[in-house]
Structure 1
Amino acid sequence: MSDSSTKKQIDHASVLARSASQQAMIPGSNKTRWQLLQQAQHASSVAYTLADPQNKQPLETPVKIYQAHVLSLVRIYEKRSSMQKLIHHILQITIFVGAALVTVIVGIPEVPKLAPALLSGVVTIATALANYYKFGEHSRDLYLTSEDLAQEYNWFGTKRGPYKEKDAEVALELFMDRTETLIRKQTKRSFALGQQKEKLEEGK
């Protein structure tokens, strides 16, 4: 078999492995997800064997595939939480410092009258943005979700908590169920915060 032909087969098997892995991450029945993860493992094993015929070990197992998925979610939520927190702090500092400066410069005759008006406008805008988008609440919610997912990840990896003394397939199914429940709850909370914004707009 030529090198180019082998490379094509490796690429094809790798694509199948990634595709099956991605489909397995979509919420569905445990049986379907397990089958998809098994397919991903098989395709990964084929690709690895073609690349190194002397080694029959698969590149990834169903457990490793899903663990990597959860770990990536933890990092995504942490990153989003940090960004929301940064915006929240910037707005709060703008509000506090701006409000204090307005009070000070109003009493200084040398300062143009337009300055406190502009500064007051900035404070008003920052306050409106903070109240409307609720960056602080989103940040806390995302952080707590990332912590909960990380805890499940650690429990599963060390076979503690609800995963203690469970066989691999049952433990993985439970891991999927519990992590997906956390993700759904976070999505619902974000949606609820979005509805609060819509009600605020309707009340104007």
Structure 2
Amino acid sequence: MSVQVCFLTGRSDPGNTALSPVQLAFLRALPLADDERVEANFPYDVPTGPWRRTPLPLASVRNGRDHFGSRHPRFAERHADEVRERFARADRTLVLAGSCGLELLANLRLGRETLSGVQVLAYGPVARRAPEVELEVVVGDRDALARPWARRADHVIASGHLDYLSAPGFGAIAERALARMRAADSPADPPEVPAAHAPEAPR
């Protein structure tokens, strides 16, 4: 059984899919072979250059634009085929969905067949709903942005919204998720997402 691990987050630099140094270090620390790491972010084009730091206010605006813009049908029309092709490269895919990444994945409307081999580890999710996948939710105890959306979580760790990848314990959570994925003999239909684990939008 082939596996792959990829990030899916908002696009602070929409013209470049390069992973940040922190994302790249986290991915390379996981027990993966080189061909099991997807070293590009959504929508998984080849990076146009090295990662560039984006000022936080600008990054926030761009991520907000992704979050709300993904609700329009044009978002899925533009990106769904790219993501389907990426997921099809392995039997099982672990998606590390940070911040609005879970919202983007849901709004791609990929369908049950495409998502049957997908497992999602959502950290600090800012999402109205979850796609029909095997989902594990991690929320930081200092993450004031995500907590109103992800009112219920599988794990609460010591982290703010921007600190998950370096937070104590998050790497071990990701390694356990990867181990569970490897233990699967073959892709299976995803279980129904329990209501208790589906992120809820603020009322």
TM-score category of the 2 structures, normalised to the smaller one: under 0.3
TM-score normalised according to structure 2 size: 0.24
Q: Pick the structure with more strand per residue.
A: 2
When the two structures are superposed, what TM-score results if normalisation uses the length of structure 1? 0.24
Greater relative contact order structure (CA < 8 Å, 6+ sep)? 2
Which is richer in helix? 1
